[in-house]
Structure 1
Amino acid sequence: MDITIRQVAADEYATLGEITAQAYLGDGLLDFGESDEYLGELRDVAKRAAAAEVLVAVADGRVLGGVTFVPAGGPMADIARAGEAEIRMLAVAPEMRGRGIGEALVRTCVERARAVEGCVRLVLSTQRTMRTAHRIYERLGFTRTPERDWNPVPHLDDIMLLTYELTL
């Protein structure tokens, strides 16, 4: 399969939004299922694309997955500091997993971060249960930064996001 990674097109927003939402739902990453407030954020690719760079993996005209690359702060950054870029909302369609698509998306973000003037680090947050993603990050040289772990929903103690960084 020949995979191309490029910027998402407006007519692909709904498809990528649904792939992202279904990946998080299917993996049990949303505490409240379909009623989870974050689900709307996952589906709102237009909002992400207006504030950051949304990349898609495509093969044979089909969107297989995507990621949001935040080059330097801004409204889409969760943890990025000065001199850092951030990866957000990495998702691959469940039936397309295990084919290197997630890794290709992360590699593209690494390349993009290296091209950002003044960027010295690429950071990301992930949930404890995203073990496949953790293996991708570690294989690509990311290291855990437990001192940066954080809770996006302070009133729910069991949602602690793990953080990783890659020094460029």
Structure 2
Amino acid sequence: MDIVIRPVAADEYEALGEITAQAYLLDGLLDFGENDAYLDELRDVAKRAAAADVLVAAEGGSVLGGVTFVPSGGPMADIAGPGEAEIRMLAVARAGRGRGAGEALVRACVERARATEGCVRVVLSTQRTMRAAHRVYERLGFTRTPERDWKPLPELDDITLLTYELTL
């Protein structure tokens, strides 16, 4: 079967929320584990879908993963400035990893950015330990932008998100 990238359906919100939360938990990306407040954000696909474009990678009737695409100036943006789109919360279930689902989701976001009037760049934040994701971004032409690295929780000095950009 082929992996298809499409907008998330409302009846998939819960499944995608859990895939996203579990991907972050199992990969050790949440400092406070099950008690991390960010888990609620990761699980709240309905909130994301109301403010941005949420895409899923699906195969047959199964959701393998998803991503949030924030068009230029969208309310879900963390680091995007004028003329920039942002990729957030990319996650693929263990069963879908190594099969191209993550790369297909990133490619779909880049295509959407290219179709967005006035958009000249795609930006994203990632954690140091997300090495597989870094390889995907770099393979697709994204470059590191260390001058944009930032701390989502300034009180926790040990968490710095790395940033990447792709000029369209």
Same fold (TM over 0.5): yes
Q: How many residue pairs align between the two structures?
A: 168
Q: Give the unaligned 5+ runs of structure 1.
A: none
Match of 2:5 in 1: 5
Q: How does 1:1-168 map onto structure 2 within 5 Å?
A: 1-168=1-168
Amino acid aligned to 2:100: G
Amino acid aligned to 1:113: A
Structure 1 residue 76: deviation in Å? Answer: 0.4
**Superposition CA RMSD, Å:** 0.5
TM-score normalised by length of structure 1: 0.99
Amino acid aligned to 2:53: E
Structure 1 residue 69: deviation in Å? Answer: 0.2
* Structure 1 stretches of 4+ moved >3 Å: none
Q: Give the unaligned 5+ runs of structure 2.
A: none
Q: Deviations over 1:18-69 (max 9, x none)?
A: 0000000000000001110000000000000000000001111100000000
TM-score normalised by length of structure 2: 0.99
Identity %: 83
Structure 1 residue 74: deviation in Å? Answer: 2.5
Amino acid aligned to 2:13: Y
